[in-house]
């Protein structure tokens, strides 16, 4: 595989600008919507995750989310919850994921330059030590963090060290956020993660109008990119979301393929990711 085309979307981070910010600026200039796939780190094992990161970049991912497996993933549905359990059982640790990201960033033959984010819960960060965790993120080449159980009103403990390290702490909004959407959008950076439906992660047959309504409210307060996740199951839904969002996030549909094929999932995920990217681009 060769990720030259996808890597062209994102250039190296400068002191002034995070790779996420650069990527969305480039996509906006071209009138394109970001494709943001998610995989659970270490599922089915670290070696396969490494191959998956290259496969997703090759398929055209503009940003990549890696879920840090956790024993109590309260925002996750059964598919990603099971993936976390498999990864932990296979011996995945936070340190192994840091090492993995650094390895794919510095690969002499085929480095990955697209923005990479960790999606995790606050407990693993706290247990690791916040300053130490952020330092390892910087060393590995992590561009952003998504922490779904960290309320926006309580994010200061993590926001300050992230800002100092030029790492974007991504804010989330949901249909229940209501009148706080504008406030959160105005105070956020990187991109805004718009949870398309109530409940935990997982594919949905019908996403309704919640996402477009949230994005409209957010855009009244800020021009921050708005990316939709939770529930997108295939190319048709991805294409529909691309009409209203600046980015489309797909997780459970990809993780389900990893569950089905195990270590043989790489080509299957590459093909599905390419179909998603094609649908979003069209």
pLDDT score for 74: 66
| pTM for this prediction | 0.90
pLDDT of residue 72: 77
Residue 195 within any structural domain of the chain? no
What's the rounded Cα separation, in Å, for the pair 119 and 278?
25
Q: How many domains does the chain have?
A: 1
- Which residue segment(s) compose the domain that 139 sits in? 33-169+230-281
Q: Does 219 reside within a domain? A: no
Does a structural domain hold residue 276? Answer: yes
More confident residue, 5 or 136: 136
Upper half-sphere CA count for residue 185 (Cβ side, 13 Å):
23
Residue 248 inside a domain? The answer is yes
- Whether 6 maps to a domain, the answer reads no
Task: Judge whether residue 275 has pLDDT over 70.
Answer: yes
Q: Give domain status of residue 109, yes or no.
A: yes
Residue 217 pLDDT level (bands cut at 50, 70, 90): very high
Q: Express each pLDDT in 53-103 by its tens digit.
A: 999 999 999 999 999 998 876 656 789 999 999 999 999 999 999 999 999
- The answer, yes or no, to whether residue 14 has pLDDT greater than 50, is no
Query: What is the C-alpha to C-alpha distance for residues 247 and 228, in angstroms, rounded to an integer?
Result: 6
**pLDDT beyond 60 at 12:** no
* CATH code of the domain containing 43: 3.20.20.70
Nearest C-alpha neighbor of 236 from the set 281, 197, 276: 276
Task: Report the C-alpha gap between 270 and 55 in whole angstroms.
Answer: 5
Instruction: Judge whether residue 11 has pLDDT over 70.
Output: no
Q: What is the pLDDT of residues 141-154, one digit of tens each?
A: 999 999 999 999 89
Give a yes or no: residue 28 inside a domain. no
The answer to whether position 152 is within a domain reads yes
How does residue 197 score in pLDDT terms, banded at 50, 70 and 90?
Answer: low
Lowest mean pLDDT among 8-12, 111-115, 216-220, 257-261: 8-12
* pLDDT given at position 5: 43
């Amino acid at each position: 595989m060769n990720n030259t085309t996808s890597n062209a979307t994102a250039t190296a981070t400068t002191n002034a600008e995070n790779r996420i910010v650069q990527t969305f600026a480039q996509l906006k200039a071209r009138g394109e919507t970001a494709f943001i796939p998610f995989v659970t780190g270490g599922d089915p094992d670290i070696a396969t995750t490494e191959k998956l990161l290259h496969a997703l970049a090759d398929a055209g991912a503009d940003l990549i989310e890696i879920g840090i497996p956790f024993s109590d993933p309260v925002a996750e549905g059964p598919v990603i919850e099971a993936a976390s359990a498999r990864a932990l059982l296979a011996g995945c640790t936070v340190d192994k994921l840091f090492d993995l990201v650094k390895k794919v960033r510095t690969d002499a033959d085929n480095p990955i330059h697209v923005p990479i984010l960790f999606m995790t819960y606050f407990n693993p960060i706290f247990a690791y030590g916040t300053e130490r965790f952020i330092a390892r993120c910087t060393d590995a080449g992590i561009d952003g963090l998504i922490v779904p159980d960290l309320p926006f009103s309580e994010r200061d403990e993590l926001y300050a060290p992230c800002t100092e390290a030029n790492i974007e702490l991504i804010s989330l909004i949901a249909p229940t956020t209501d009148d706080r959407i504008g406030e959160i959008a105005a105070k956020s950076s990187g991109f805004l993660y718009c949870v398309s439906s109530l409940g935990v992660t997982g594919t949905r047959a019908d996403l309704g109008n919640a996402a477009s309504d949230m994005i409209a409210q957010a855009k009244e307060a800020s021009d921050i990119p708005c990316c939709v996740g939770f529930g997108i199951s295939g190319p048709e839904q991805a294409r529909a979301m691309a009409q209203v969002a600046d980015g489309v996030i797909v997780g459970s549909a990809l993780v389900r393929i990893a569950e089905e094929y195990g270590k043989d999932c790489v080509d299957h995920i590459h093909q599905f990711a390419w179909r998603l990217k094609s649908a979003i681009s069209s």
